Amino acid sequence: MSKILVQKFGGTSVGDPERIKRVAARIKSYHEKGYQLVVVVSAMGHTTDELVDLAAKISTNPPKREMDMLLSTGEQVSIALLAMALHETGVPARSFTGGQVNIVTDGNFSNARIESIDARRLTDELDKGQVCIVAGFQGVDQNQNITTLGRGGSDTTAVALAAALKAKECEIYTDVDGVYTTDPNKVEAARKLDQISYDEMLELASLGAGVLHSRSVEFAKKYDVVIHVKSSFNYNEGTKVVSENQIMEKLKVTGVTLKSDDARMTIGDIPDRPGVAAEIFEVLSEKRINIDVIVQSTGKDKLNTISFTLPVSSVRDAKAGLEPLIQKWGAGSISTDENIAILSAVGVGMKSHSGVAASMFKVLAEQNINIEMISTSEIKISCVISQDRGKEALRLIHTVFGLDKST
């Protein structure tokens, strides 16, 4: 089995010099066990936000290429300081930018995709006994321009390097000690999971579970990289994200989520004819607006109503794009409701267990919580409900699916 281990430490974990020293001590303990270590690091604390604010004082619309050049410096500070901290403990270490370890991306500044990684420089350094500290969140395009990978980019860097190096696993260190059945800040009875499948984690990530970003999980699933989510503040076992066939016990429902940053947009009294829905969602796609739940209903006089959920931050862009369509059709109206929440249950066990939807709908009905929209997939059920009842509903379904921790 490979002795190469990839570890990733987020901004909170390296937020100040004392925390960097603690991270160095943890890395040293692995180094002493004989592991060859590649460590991916994010920018310290709120450095990225501070750099964004700095740019805003110079320009209201800075070029994306220059923003990537600026933001990439945050990780360079972290990797250099961590390499210094390791040297202080007697561990040989070298720091590298994304470009220096041949992480090649497309040219989509601020949200680049990794196209290839040539791991030879890293393997050469590992064979010399070095701990390799790599800047997360960044790479270079074919023209050697620095690019950044967008939200969750350091997680993606770590998983991609683990795949390229055929590492034993990829450890992601955060400020929580694993993946929970739901947000512990919303439900005190939430419990930590020992394992979760890639597909379940992808669903939870898309629904706002902030432990891992979906792009890193997609990468892990594609290359069968085991992700181990752990806390950088203790030495407890975390949660392993693995392929479905490695899950020992497939729970009917593994986790439940509440997403409160979406709005519902309704387009009413539109023509009931082929192509209308295609026109609507093509406009939204061109504006890169992510849509979740969609419901279409047919009314009187061959007029339809289409409702869908989208991020609250995208409402203005969506309206601006759709209003010309309303004018073109000579019919229709647009309304929005931001007082909604999306309540979801996720679990690979749904494939082999019936009655999940019935249990969820029944407990909501018993508490007079109205379901406004419904969406399902093979391993997920989502309901749109009033935001005012969201946390109550989350606690109810967490209990009804047997997810509460034992007291």
Residues 6+ apart with CB under 8 A from 372: 264, 340, 383, 384, 385, 386
- Which amino acid appears at position 386 of this protein? S
Closest CA to 154 of 262, 36, 44, 311: 44
- For 252-389, where are the alpha helices, taking DSSP H only? 276-286, 315-329, 356-366
Structure tokens at 198: 């890639």
pLDDT given at position 23? 96
Strand 138-140 versus strand 131-135 pairing type: unpaired
Instruction: Supply the pLDDT for residue 395.
Output: 96
| Token duo for residue 193 | 């999971």
The confidence score (pLDDT) of residue 297 equals 84
Domains belonging to the chain, first-starting first, are: 4-175 (3.40.1160.10)
pLDDT one-digit tens code per residue, 43-82 = 999 999 999 999 999 999 999 999 999 999 999 999 999 9
Q: Which stretches of the chain drop beneath a pLDDT of 50?
A: none
Residue with tokens 């995709």: 113
pTM of the model: 0.86
